């Protein structure tokens, strides 16, 4: 027993008692189950386990604080109607917005933020961190921090481009299929069924082995693999809309397919489609990261998070966490996008569940 352990339990138990006294049921349940959990973890893992809990609690508190501040900030600076929407957002959603904004800034202004170029060799291989290199050097002596910043531009940019392509073709085909119906709808449906019954990473590996691993092929291959998913969703969404009376009225007016899609169906299906774009983006982003990790995605010397993990993976066996930072960057962005999508789905469905 030392001061840290005593202080740790005193704080937890004291806080749970306070919560119980003030009838804060949620807070009490959380705090007290944490106390009970810590007993078990402390017995198994000893003091390091308790430090781990403390640090994670600190990180979560920091994240919650940032999200709260960011939400209030958005409420103040945004115009009236948008700020009302943001006001009701859960903290997770504003955390997601904050992360996405940070990544966007890092990606857009990468050359300004990064102290060195992405392919610039400035030190020896695996040099430890110093005042110049915040995170040390990678396997060729390039600055890890600069490469992570550039990675925000390359990895996210490529995933965005691929998603946009998949989304454009999938959504257009889906909307046309739903509006026109008939043989086009049937044929597309069968094709989509087949493509979707091949697991995406296997399909990607097959196509990449044949067409090689240039960035252009990568984008096209991912577009081919993911557009069927978008097709299904947009067809389902539009399918619910084309049976509405106002579509019937527009058809009787003699409007063409293109007008129907653009003026009647699209405005009424934006919310689910945008949410779907977010979801698709996180799938595509994970797939690109996985392919890069396997050495088949974005090719060196372009800085990319997936390949950075692979190149520096040996460091993990020496107990270093640097190779985990790019992997964590991937995870953080995907989590953030998922938080935002969750919130949007909740808002558009208006369900309480």
Partner 1 sequence: MNDVVKIIFKRLGLGLVTLLVISVIIFSAVEMLPGDIAQAVLGQGATKENVAAMREQLGLDRPAVVRYFEWLGNAVTGDFGHSLVSQKQVSSAISERFANTLFLALYAAVIAVPVAILLGVLTALWRNTPFDRVANVATLTSISSPEFFLGYILILFLSVKTGYFPSLAKINAEMGFFEKLERMFLPALTMVLVVVAHMMRMTRSAIINLLASPYIEMARLKGVPGWRIITHHALPNAWAPIINVIALNLAYLVTGVVLVEVVFVFPGIGQMLVDSVTKRDFPVVQACCLIFAATFILLNLAADVGAILTNPRLRHPK
* 8 Å CB contact between 209 and 149: no
**Helix/strand/coil for 127:** coil
Specify the residue, 54 or 268, whose C-beta has the smaller distance to partner 1. Answer: 54
Cα(185)–Cα(265) distance, integer angstroms? 17
CA neighbours within 13 Å on the CB side: how many for 57? 14
State the Cα–Cα distance between residues 10 and 287, nearest whole angstrom: 46
**Which one, 226 or 293, has the nearer CB to partner 1?**
293
Residue with smaller CB distance to partner 1, 274 or 313:
313
> Distance between CA atoms of 155 and 161, rounded to whole angstroms?
10
Question: Packing angle between helix 270-293 and helix 215-242, nearest 10 degrees?
Answer: 160
Pick 83 or 217: Cβ nearer partner 1: 217
CB of 262 to partner 1, least distance (A): 34
CB of 158 to partner 1, least distance (A): 15
Phi, psi angles (nearest 5°) of residue 139: -70, -15
Instruction: State the minimum distance, in angstroms, from the CB of residue 100 to partner 1.
Output: 13
How far the first Cα of the chain sits from its last, in Å, is 45
Nearer to partner 1, 247 or 337 (CB): 337
Q: Tell me how far apart the alpha carbons of residues 136 and 128 are, in angstroms, rounded to a whole number.
A: 5
Least distance (Å) from partner 1 to the CB of residue 81? 29
Q: Which is nearer to partner 1, 91 or 266 (CB)?
A: 91
Interface residues toward partner 1, by CB under 8 A? 26, 29-30, 33, 92, 193-194, 197-199, 201-203, 205-210, 282, 286, 289-290, 293-296, 306, 309, 313, 316-319, 321, 323-324, 327-328, 330-331, 334-335, 337-339, 342, 353
Provide, rounded to whole angstroms, the least separation between the CB of residue 93 and partner 1. 12
Half-sphere exposure for 141 (CA within 13 Å, toward CB) = 6
CA 323/CA 71 separation, integer angstroms: 32
The answer to whether 200 touches 226, Cβ cutoff 8 Å, is yes
CB of 337 to partner 1, least distance (A): 8
């Amino acid at each position: 027993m030392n001061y840290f352990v005593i202080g740790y339990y005193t704080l937890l138990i004291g806080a749970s008692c306070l919560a119980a006294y003030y009838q804060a049921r949620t807070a009490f349940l959380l705090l007290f189950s944490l106390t009970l959990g810590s007993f078990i973890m402390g017995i198994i893992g000893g003091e390091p386990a308790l430090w781990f809990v403390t640090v994670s609690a600190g990180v979560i508190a920091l994240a919650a604080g940032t999200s709260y501040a960011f939400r209030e900030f958005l409420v103040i600076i945004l115009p009236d109607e948008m700020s009302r929407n943001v006001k009701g957002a859960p903290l997770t959603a504003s955390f997601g917005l904050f992360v996405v904004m940070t990544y966007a800034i890092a990606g857009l202004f990468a050359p300004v933020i990064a102290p060195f170029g992405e392919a610039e060799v400035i030190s020896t291989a695996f040099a430890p961190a110093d005042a110049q290199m915040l995170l040390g050097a990678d396997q060729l002596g390039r600055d890890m921090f600069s490469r992570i910043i550039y990675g925000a531009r390359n990895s996210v940019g490529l995933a965005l481009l691929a998603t946009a392509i998949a989304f454009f073709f999938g959504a257009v085909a889906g909307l046309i299929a739903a509006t026109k119906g008939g043989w086009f709808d049937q044929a597309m449906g069968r094709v989509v069924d087949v493509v979707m019954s091949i697991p995406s990473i296997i399909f990607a590996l097959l196509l990449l082995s044949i067409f090689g691993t240039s960035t252009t092929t990568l984008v096209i291959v991912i577009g081919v693999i993911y557009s069927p998913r978008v097709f299904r969703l947009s067809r389902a969404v539009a399918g619910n809309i084309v049976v509405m009376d106002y579509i019937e009225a527009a058809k009787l007016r003699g409007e063409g397919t293109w007008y129907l899609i653009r003026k009647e169906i699209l405005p009424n299906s934006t919310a689910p489609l945008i949410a779907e774009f977010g979801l698709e983006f996180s799938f595509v982003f994970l797939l690109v990261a996985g392919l890069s990790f396997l050495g088949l995605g974005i090719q060196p010397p372009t800085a990319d998070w997936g390949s950075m993990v692979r190149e520096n993976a040996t460091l993990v066996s020496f107990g270093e966490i640097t190779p985990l930072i790019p992997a964590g960057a991937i995870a953080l962005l995907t989590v953030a996008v998922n938080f935002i999508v969750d919130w949007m789905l909740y808002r558009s469905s208006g369900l309480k569940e």
